[in-house]
Structure 1
Amino acid sequence: MKPPGLSRGGGWGREIKFLVSVFFPTSLLAFILVLIAACNGLLCLSTEARPRSALLQQHPKPAPMAAKEEPLRPPRLRKAALRRLLRPSERSRSFAARAREFFNWPCERRFFMTWISKPDSFAERELITMESLFRSHPSACLLVLSAAMDGPRGEALLRPFESKGFRVAAMSPDYRFLLRDTPAALWLDRLLRGKVNPGEVPLGQNLSNLLRLAVLYKFGGAYLDADVVVLRSFSPLRNAIGAQAADLATGNWSRLNNAVMIFDEGHPLLFKFIQEFALTFDGSKWGHNGPYLVSRVSARLRDRPGFNFTVLPPAAFYPVDWSRIGPLFRDPSSAEEWRRLAAKLAAIRRGSFAIHLWNRHSRSMPIERGSVIAQLIADHRVLFNRSSS
């Protein structure tokens, strides 16, 4: 007996043909797909013979992982600001000759101020500083280093003083001349080439910090901020700088200020100040290139031979700290306040050469009639057609 299924013609042969006809195309297709996938993943078969450049074109190298982001580079100095502040002009190029001619006049003492802002902002308080200076030093010479004031507007502001016989002038500074043969000459060159980060503090403020040091080093004399009221003659002072803060018990100072400085021409401490400015300039820290600079350099050199200078107590120039200046602008509102402020006024008159008004904090405060500041100003004016309120 034949096995079932083999009895009809074809038998096993027909069954095998049927199975092959059904399954072979599907298996073959699957095999081909697997092979293609493997070749794509492993770069096998014919691609092995291709040049490396062709492989890279077909399968570009994945982009590298992003590196750690670097901090932003310091912003470049804006060209407009540089042109306004530092570009040489006909007047600045003649600064050296003009200054020498100005000081050829016999002066009781040379005084300097700087003004980097617009001439329109040179107003009542700045003029009060000048009045008080000439009240205590009628034979002094005052040179204002300012391109903004070296023109018709500045001439108009200074004319009332000249008409009274006071010697005053505003001149555009020549930075290269003033910084020549000092460590800041290279700093200035880098600044002009855009290699110095000016930081967030206005550049003019830091240029003022440098100018006051340079002009004292070049000519010698006294420097005043434009918000300092002079109360008595500086004639006893030589190579002196004032402390802003000191320990009342020991008298040891903790911070100096550069709003008032009196130094001989070429004094070595001034050279060190200028050197520190050039080496450690930081335009993003308020005071770093000014009060804090003179404080840290003076602290390092106070016991060194050859650096003879005097640090005056806070009462000399800063009898009231900026954080406590407000009440001195106000008319006393009670008997108790009047007694307290009257005692303060007497102490200032008795023991201070000048008083810093801290315009940065007090500019918006009106000078009320009857206040301590109003009385001090009234004592030291030379142009009586102006109001102090």
Structure 2
Amino acid sequence: MMEQSRRTEQVLLVQRLKRLIVSFVFCLPMSLLGLLLMLLLIYNSFSVFSLHLVPTSPIQSTLSPTHLQILHHQTSTSSSESDSSLLLVVKETSLGFIQKQNVSSTRTERKMRRFKRRTELTSAITQRLQVKSRQVFKTKFKSFLSKSSCESLFFMTWISSIESFGDRERFTIESLFKFHPNSCLILVSNSFDCDRGTLILKPFTDKGLKVLPIKPDFAYIFKDTSAEKWFERLKKGTFSPGVIPLEQNLSNLLRLVLLYKFGGIYLDTDVIILKSLSNLHNVIGAQTVDPVTKKWSRLNNAVLIFDKNHPLLKRFIDEFSRTFNGNKWGHNGPYLVSRVIARINISSSSDLGFSVLPPSAFYPVDWTRIKGFYRAPTSETEAKWLRKRLTHLRKNTFAVHLWNRESKKLRIEEGSIIHQLMSHSCIFCNSSSLHLS
């Protein structure tokens, strides 16, 4: 009974305290009551939007080698040093400049982080570093030509990693020298101008074939062309390089300026040469022809043959600099040469001194049908078609563009068109390159 009495008294006491507190609150002036409520709201806001920051180490770049390609090294060792630059190709999704932190995100914070990433992406394209002299390209290039007797001058570009240069790319060089043994090849590449690149090319140099891997000096190469100002704007970050890999667009521009400055023959690394190109001058190849008008409907820039200072090349370079768009595939490459020449009428083309060759010259098979060139015949009907196709190719075709984007994973079957073309164009014919998987 006593225990129950104590509990009853405690309950009554709590009830009296509640009534007392309520009475006190309602007796307060309304202004004071409002102030208390406001303080409670402020406290609640601070508790909701407060950030718990975890201490972090200094921010460091976490770009992986697979997402980072060095495109250009340049500097000056003179007393009045010029700005050096290192162009970097970066996938925005791989940026590691901002470390993940254990924070509560708000819309404002997310916007700030996106803005910071965009800013860092732009700055990453034009990092300033001290490297070798700008005179290296000029000196090395001229020294090579002075020591070499070149019947023809070929250019190729490789602005990817050296690891991605495989047997198929090497075979392009092989077929080039098969029909042009006294020519010179300038392989413009950051990744190849090293001991490993020299080792890859050693089978050619051991045969006395003349090939020079060399890092591009864009400032020197682009000088005194409209590409020079475009490149300066790129380094300053005044426009976006776009979503298309920058190295792809630099290659499109580089081939044009190299031919304009020095003249010669440019080849993509997915081309097989079938016969000598020495008798071709100032030509570009059509990729497709309109079936009704029989006129070309699209050109391509995988094979270009032009004299030094050719006016059409200048128009190409000016068009690139004026209409550059890094977000549209082909806009600065095949579509560019097509646009420029489409604006030139037939009489002007003869005045400018160039010719458009039919698709059979360099692009005898469309990219949508390239798979058929890699397959061996499975019937007598297919074998008959293959023999007829080979006869036509050997008669009318100078080179075959292999459309590497579509064919790089295709297996070369023995007896296929590609296998037989390679057997015809090889230098190291006992190597495994004829049986690529």
Question: TM-score band, normalised by the shorter chain?
Answer: 0.7 to 0.9
Mean CA deviation greater in 246-255 or 372-381: 246-255
Q: 1:376 to 1:81 in 2, by over 3 A?
A: farther
Q: Which residue of 2 aligns with 1:236?
A: 279
Aligned equivalents of 2:301 and 2:154: distance in 1? 14
Residues 123-179 of structure 1, C-alpha deviations (whole Å, 9 max, x = no match)? 111110000000010000000110111001110111110001100011001101111
Aligned equivalents of 2:335 and 2:232: distance in 1? 24
Paired residue secondary structure (1:251) = coil
Aligned equivalents of 1:385 and 1:273: distance in 2? 41
Q: Is the 8 A contact 1:318 1:354 kept in 2?
A: yes
Q: Is the 8 A contact 2:122 2:240 kept in 1?
A: no
Q: CA deviation at 1:193?
A: 0.9
Q: CA deviation at 1:78?
A: 4.8
The residue correspondences of 1:177-256 to structure 2 (distance < 5 A) are 177-248=220-291, 250-256=293-299
Q: Percent identity?
A: 49
Q: 1:82 to 1:371 in 2, by over 3 A?
A: farther
Aligned equivalents of 2:223 and 2:204: distance in 1? 32
- Identify the match of residue 158 of structure 1 among 198, 201, 223: 201
Paired residue secondary structure (2:352) = coil
Paired residue secondary structure (1:259) = strand
Report the AA paired with residue 338 of structure 2.
S
Q: Which residue of 2 aligns with 1:292?
A: 335
Report the AA paired with residue 169 of structure 1.
L
Q: Which runs of 5+ in 2 are unaligned?
A: 1-29, 31-113
Aligned equivalents of 1:131 and 1:87: distance in 2? 36
- TM (norm. structure 2) is 0.69
Q: Which residue of 1 aligns with 2:390?
A: 345
Q: Which runs of 5+ in 1 are unaligned?
A: 1-32, 34-71
- Identify the match of residue 333 of structure 1 among 378, 387, 398: 378
Cα RMSD between the aligned structures? 2.1
Q: Which has the higher contact order (CA 8 A, sep 6+)?
A: 1
Question: Does structure 1 residue 101 correspond to structure 2 residue 101?
Answer: no
- TM (norm. structure 1) is 0.78
Aligned equivalents of 1:242 and 1:385: distance in 2? 32
Q: 1:181 to 1:87 in 2, by over 3 A?
A: farther
Q: 1:306 to 1:282 in 2, by over 3 A?
A: same
Mean CA deviation greater in 250-259 or 281-290: 250-259
Aligned equivalents of 2:338 and 2:284: distance in 1? 10
Q: 1:200 to 1:169 in 2, by over 3 A?
A: same
Q: CA deviation at 1:196?
A: 2.1
The residue correspondences of 1:247-326 to structure 2 (distance < 5 A) are 247-248=290-291, 250-303=293-346, 304=348, 306-326=351-371
Q: CA deviation at 1:338?
A: 1.6
Q: Is the 8 A contact 2:156 2:188 kept in 1?
A: yes
Q: CA deviation at 1:236?
A: 1.5
Q: Which residue of 2 aligns with 1:49?
A: none
Number of paired residues? 318
Residues 186-223 of structure 1, C-alpha deviations (whole Å, 9 max, x = no match)? 11001111112111111110000000001001100000
Question: Does structure 1 residue 380 correspond to structure 2 residue 380?
Answer: no
Paired residue secondary structure (2:343) = helix
Q: Which residue of 2 aligns with 1:145?
A: 188
Residues 9-43 of structure 1, C-alpha deviations (whole Å, 9 max, x = no match)? xxxxxxxxxxxxxxxxxxxxxxxx9xxxxxxxxxx
Q: Is the 8 A contact 2:273 2:398 kept in 1?
A: yes
Q: CA deviation at 1:376?
A: 0.2
Larger Rg: 1
Report the AA paired with residue 173 of structure 1.
P
Report the AA paired with residue 200 of structure 2.
L
Aligned equivalents of 1:140 and 1:87: distance in 2? 36
Question: Does structure 1 residue 368 correspond to structure 2 residue 426?
Answer: no
Q: Which residue of 1 aligns with 2:15?
A: none
Q: CA deviation at 1:306?
A: 4.0
Q: CA deviation at 1:286?
A: 0.3
Paired residue secondary structure (1:333) = coil
Q: Which residue of 2 aligns with 1:355?
A: 400
Q: CA deviation at 1:246?
A: 1.1
Q: CA deviation at 1:99?
A: 1.1
Report the AA paired with residue 364 of structure 1.
K
